[in-house]
Structure 1
Amino acid sequence: MSRRNHDRYTAGDWREAGPTVGAILANRWLVYTECDLCELRIRADLKRIARERGPGFVLWGRATTCRRMGCPGRVTFWVRPHGAYGDVGMT
């Protein structure tokens, strides 16, 4: 990632810089989930994910069920890399 203007990075560029949970932890990036239905936002516990699934686990392109009781929605993972213009959807 040699470009100076981080606002010109695409989601693919960020995915390449942090492809796995272990790499995201090493980069010290914030990851959170947001429900598409109820809009609940929760910070993802990356250390727990790495412990349970392994540091090679990939969050990119994944979705899971909402953790709010009774909500049938699905959550999307979002990452906030240092220097990014905004949050990046991990779709």
Structure 2
Amino acid sequence: MTRRNPDRYTPEDWKMAGRTVGAILSNRWLVYTECELCELRIRADLKRIARARGTHFVLWGRSTTCRRMGCPGRVTFWVRPHGARGDVAMT
């Protein structure tokens, strides 16, 4: 990323900078999930995801079921890049 002001990056720019789980790990970005139904937030274990799916696995555009017992909701992955204005939905 060549621009000087990270606060002006678009979600697409962040997606290109951290396309895979391996890239997100090397950038040391925080990733968490948030349930759309019960609003439970859990920090994503990127190292575990990398071991299970590989470092080339892509979280962008993915969703999974909520981990709270009994909740039928789906979660959205969010990334918190360094220098971003806020968290970026990985939709």
Give TM-score, length-normalised by structure 1.
Answer: 0.98
Deviates most, 3-12 or 40-49: 3-12
What is the DSSP-based 3-state SS (H/G/I as helix, E as strand, rest coil) of the residue aligned with 1:83?
coil
- Matched residue, 1:73: 73
RMSD of aligned alpha carbons: 0.5
2:63, 2:8 → 1: CA distance?
Answer: 26
- Matched residue, 1:25: 25
Q: CA deviation at 1:61?
A: 0.1
Give TM-score, length-normalised by structure 2.
Answer: 0.98
- Mapping of 1:15-54 within 5 angstroms? 15-54=15-54
Q: CA deviation at 1:2?
A: 1.1
Contiguous gaps of at least 5 residues in structure 2: none
Amino acid at match of 2:77: F
2:6, 2:23 → 1: CA distance?
Answer: 18
- The sequence identity of aligned pairs, in percent, is 84
Structure 1 consecutive aligned stretches of length 4 or more whose deviation exceeds 3 Å: none
What is the DSSP-based 3-state SS (H/G/I as helix, E as strand, rest coil) of the residue aligned with 1:47?
helix
